[in-house]
Amino acid sequence: MSLVLTRRPSPVGMARPPTQATATYPLDTAYGQDFLTLKAKGPDALFDDAALCDLPQTAITTTTFWTDGETHFSGPSLYALLAAAGLADAITAVRLIALSDHMMVMNDAVIDPVAPIVANRMNGAPIAVRDQGPLWVICPFNRRSQCSAKSHFALTIRQLSRIEVS
């Protein structure tokens, strides 16, 4: 299985804001021990923890069904990750796939430069697979009205391993 990101032309005046990403990760370059695959037309982009940490980081503190009390998550925004690979413009939806092959589709209405994030840290430490890591796609459920609806908890995916863009 794979994650599919569909591109569409941006309507005039509706362009996405530019990301603050300072690094570019071409789709044909591998980075150390990879645990995230970003698939688009052509070669895959493979990201390790160091490559994810090189991207602009976003931190959120929120409560979830899967953690006790407020939990601090940090990592690049999904938008920044896609932008670093040159794939963020004019998307309509993405498919996110977990290690277990659980898959969900996220539309562009909930993807912006700030959230959701691809968290690779929980309470300051790397997220172990046994703790639903190494990556979580998560929104700040307590702060953003667009993420506070119970239906948005369904947009959280733990153990993210693959994103596919077409």
pLDDT at 142 exceeding the cut of 80? no
Name the band, by pLDDT with cuts 50, 70 and 90, for residue 150. low
CA dihedral 114, 116, 120, 122 (to 10 degrees): 90
The predicted structure's pLDDT at residue 154: 66
Residue 12 has pLDDT above 80, yes or no: no
Extract the tokens encoding 8. 């569409």
* Among 59, 52, 56, 69, CA closest to 124: 59
Strand ordering across the sheet containing 117-119: 117-119, 136-138, 157-158
- Predicted model pTM: 0.76
Written as six digits, the tokens of 48 are 């390790």
Average pLDDT over residues 111-128: 91
Read off the pLDDT of each residue in 122-141 and give the average, rounded to a whole number: 88
42 or 86: whose pLDDT is higher?
Answer: 86
| % of the chain with per-residue pLDDT over 90 | 31
50-79 pLDDT tens trace: 999 999 999 999 888 888 889 999 999 999
Domain ranges for the chain, please list them.
31-164
Burial 83-108 (b: 16+ CB within 10 A, else e): bbbebbebbebbbbbbbeeebeebeb
CA 113 to chain centre: 11
Kindly report the average pLDDT of the chain as a whole number: 76
113 three-state secondary structure: coil
* CATH class as words, domain 31-164: alpha beta
For residue 33, pLDDT over 90 is answered with no
DSSP E strand stretches across 40-159: 45-47, 58-62, 71-75, 91-98, 103-107, 117-119, 121-122, 125-126, 136-138, 157-158
The continuous run of DSSP H or E covering 134 comes out as none
pLDDT at 79: 92
Count other C-beta atoms under 10 Å from residue 28's C-beta: 10
- Mean pLDDT, to the nearest integer, of 14-20? 36
